[in-house]
Every structure is written in structure tokens, then in C-alpha cells.
Structure 1
Amino acid sequence: MCATKRRTQRSQVSLQIAQNWQVHALQKLKPPADQPEIKYIERYCRLQEAICILLWLFSSQVSKEAHYYAR
């Protein structure tokens, strides 16, 4: 039980780090003065897509670990 609790806590910390990274990355993303806004929107969408993929990969790995240790 104690080992499972530690794994859960590590997973929660890792997820929090990923979410903090997402917030930080989005705050740094500003439209450049020399580029049209459409480029900014494209970059924003690509960044959001990459973040979603990373979070999906992370959550699927956590799910696999939880399923493995639940046996």
C-alpha cells in the first residue's frame, strides 16, 4: 500500500510539473511584432497540440502503471 501511495504521489507531481510547463510555455508565447497574427495562431495551435499529445502520453503511461500495480 505504501509503495502504491508513493507511485501515486510521484505521478501527481509529474502531472503538476507538466501542467506548470504548459502554463509557462503559453505565457511566453506572444505574437511577434514583425509577423502577422495568423502565424501566431498557427504557432499557438501547434504548441497546444504538442502539449495535448504529451499529456495524453503521460496519462496513458500512468494508467498502464496503475493497471499493472492493481493486479
Structure 2
Amino acid sequence: MEKVKDVFVYNLLTGEERWYSCDAITAVKQAYAEENGLGAQFAVTLGKMDLPILKGKDAVFCGDWGARIR
């Protein structure tokens, strides 16, 4: 698992940008959950929701949200 740090998450569809202080995978999952009305459920499950994740060499995506892995 990658180290916790500040992460900028981008919505590839709308161009919206959000800032999180966690690892990149959790950040894109949280942005996706918040956008789809699942924010409270995400918080209750401590981010252990089964969401669609696509992880590449330099980036991670969940729905329209993406973040760089540095």
C-alpha cells in the first residue's frame, strides 16, 4: 500500500478537482462515492466499498475520477 500524502483527484468528464489527504486509491474511491451519493456509506465502511478501480502504472481511476500515483 502506498504512503499517505496529499492527493489531487480530477474528474475527467467535468474537469472538477478535489484535494484529499490519503492514498490515491482511497481518494478516487471517496470522490466517486461522494459524487454518487454514497459518501455516508463510504465513511461507515471506512472506504472498504467494492467500487470499480482501474490501476495503471502512473494513475488510478474510479469512474470518471482519476489521480496520479507518484
TM-score scaled to structure 2, two decimals? 0.31
| Pair member with larger Rg | 1
Flag the structure with higher helix content: 1
Higher relative strand content: 2
Q: Which has the higher contact order (CA 8 A, sep 6+)?
A: 1
TM-score by length of 1: 0.31
